[in-house]
Amino acid sequence: MRSILACEAVAKINARLLERYLSVAFRTLELGRLSFSEVAEVAATNPVLLIPMGTMEQHGPHMPVNADNMVAEFVATKASEQTGAFVAPGLNYGCSDVFRNFAGTVSIQHDTLARLLEEVCEGYIKHGFRRIVFVNNHGGNEIVIERVARILRKRHGMLVGSVYPWSLGYALMRDQYEDVDKAYGHGAEPETSAMLAMFPEDVTLDRLETGNFQKFQGWDASSYAKVRIPGQSVPGTVYFESDDIAPNGVTGDGSNGTKEIGEVWIERVVGFAVAFVKEFDERTKNEAWAKSDQ
Ligand SMILES: [Zn+2]
């Protein structure tokens, strides 16, 4: 009797040691820095895989055209460090047609991105990665991610997750501004503050401009695709080029942006990303579709 109990105790300790071994055995959580033999060992543990995504597009005269990708990478890396999820190399080109007239914006079509995304995911799936979460930091990619996620659900039974840092920032930072409607916008807030906290050397504040939606051919635009209709409480839909209605690329006032506000952004957005990845890990780790040998 005693020996059976002892065996159970040893088995428990071994299981705990194995768990700890698996969590510390890999020298980095950046998948691209591992060799193929190391990647095979990682895949065998059925980890959550974060895939950063963004695009190359204008973010006002004072912020880098690679901002979406830089922030996706930043948030994915922080979330990885706090959850043990691995980070794949990012997909840095996306669907930004609306900004195509600004220098440095390089846009690919939805079909192109969908095909790329599907083939990249199938590559990871083939080698045993089943638990995929996109850290996508560009709105124009969202519709494509949903399309590919639904294909993977049908084909492999997988649940695919997605986190959108800029969008989380808009939702979580409203209490930081006296006049949130004036401050918020593309190339304005909370983007400027967030970038000042993450990449201060790449924000050229002396180039900062504020901006508003301007009338175009008589239309009173409230976004790149929404227009006010006189006497109506809901907007109509018309598709503009962004520079039709926001010639300097900016749709808000980032002039009061600060590194300190940006640090709140990091705390809240990364905080959500970490909570989401933990929940995704917990909810999916015992599902049959999540196992690399299925
Ligand atoms: Zn974007």
Give residue 291 CA to ligand 1 midpoint distance, Å: 34
With CA atoms as reference, report the closest residue to 57 among 72, 42, 47. Answer: 72
> Over 80: is that where the pLDDT of 25 sits?
no
| Span of 23-32, 63-72, 176-185, 261-270 with lowest mean pLDDT | 23-32
Query: Mean pLDDT over residues 223-251, rounded?
Result: 97
Residue 209 CA to residue 59 CA, distance in Å, equals 11
Residue 8: its pLDDT value, please?
61
Residue 130 CA to residue 216 CA, distance in Å, equals 47
Give residue 131 CA to ligand 1 midpoint distance, Å: 25
Question: For residue 292, what pLDDT band results from cuts at 50, 70 and 90?
Answer: confident
Query: Mean pLDDT over residues 185-214, rounded?
Result: 98
Average pLDDT of the chain? 94
Query: Mean pLDDT over residues 180-189, rounded?
Result: 97
What is the DSSP code (8-state) at residue 195? H
Give residue 10 CA to ligand 1 midpoint distance, Å: 53
Calculate the dihedral angle through the C-alpha atoms of 231, 233, 234, 235, rounding to the nearest 10 degrees: 50
> Over 80: is that where the pLDDT of 3 sits?
no
A 10 A CB-CB count for 151 gives: 17
Give residue 192 CA to ligand 1 midpoint distance, Å: 13
Give residue 118 CA to ligand 1 midpoint distance, Å: 21
Residue 19: its pLDDT value, please?
55
Give residue 60 CA to ligand 1 midpoint distance, Å: 11
Tokens describing residue 24: 């510390």
Three-state DSSP class for residue 177: coil
Which residues, 6 or more positions from 89, have their beta carbon under 8 angstroms from its beta carbon? 31, 32
Q: What pLDDT digit, counting tens, does each position of 105-138 carry? A: 999 999 999 999 999 999 999 999 999 999 999 9
Residue 203 CA to residue 193 CA, distance in Å, equals 10
Give residue 74 CA to ligand 1 midpoint distance, Å: 15
Give residue 12 CA to ligand 1 midpoint distance, Å: 48
Query: Mean pLDDT over residues 196-218, rounded?
Result: 97
Query: Mean pLDDT over residues 239-257, rounded?
Result: 97
Residue 30: its pLDDT value, please?
98
Residue 108 CA to residue 272 CA, distance in Å, equals 29
- Bridge-partner residues for 49, per DSSP? 86, 132
Residue 74 CA to residue 218 CA, distance in Å, equals 41
Question: For residue 249, what pLDDT band results from cuts at 50, 70 and 90?
Answer: very high
| pTM score, whole prediction | 0.90
Give residue 200 CA to ligand 1 midpoint distance, Å: 19
Residue 270 CA to residue 251 CA, distance in Å, equals 25
Q: What pLDDT digit, counting tens, does each position of 77-104 carry? A: 999 999 999 999 999 999 999 999 999 9
Query: Mean pLDDT over residues 140-145, rounded?
Result: 98
Residue 235: its pLDDT value, please?
98
> Over 70: is that where the pLDDT of 23 sits?
no
> Over 60: is that where the pLDDT of 22 sits?
no
